[in-house]
Every structure is written in C-alpha cells, then in structure tokens.
Amino acid sequence: MKICIYCQEVIEGAAAALGDGFSMSGARPDALAHPDCVPFTASDAASLS
C-alpha cells in the first residue's frame, strides 16, 4: 500500500517519488506523494511568471 507523505491518504493512481528509501533489507520504502500534494519549488514558481 502506498501512502502520501503529505496528506497521509492512500495513493491509488500515479505517485510522485520524492526520495529513494534504499536499504539492503527493503525496510525503508521510497517517499511517495500524490502529484497534487507535492509543494512547489523555486524553479516551479519561476516558470509560472
């Protein structure tokens, strides 16, 4: 089950991978979020103007 790290809701469709949770045992999953929940970055804001 994929859970959004921002809103804590289940992700049923596409997910944005925000970080690599690499571990040899697989105990740390990747950080995932709904595409709509991902906050804007400075470069995103610059492209809007």
The pTM (predicted TM-score) of the whole model is 0.60
Residue 16, pLDDT score = 85
Residue of 6, 9, 7 whose CA lies nearest to 19: 6
Dihedral angle computed from the Cα positions of residues 17, 22, 25 and 29, in that order, rounded to the nearest 10 degrees: -20
Question: pLDDT of 1-49, one tens digit each?
Answer: 889 888 999 999 988 888 776 777 767 677 888 888 877 665 655 555 4
Using an 8 Å Cβ cutoff, are 15 and 7 in contact? no
32: which strand partners? 4, 17
Find, among 13, 10, 20, 15, the residue nearest to 38 by Cα: 15
- pLDDT at position 49: 45
| pLDDT for position 21 | 67
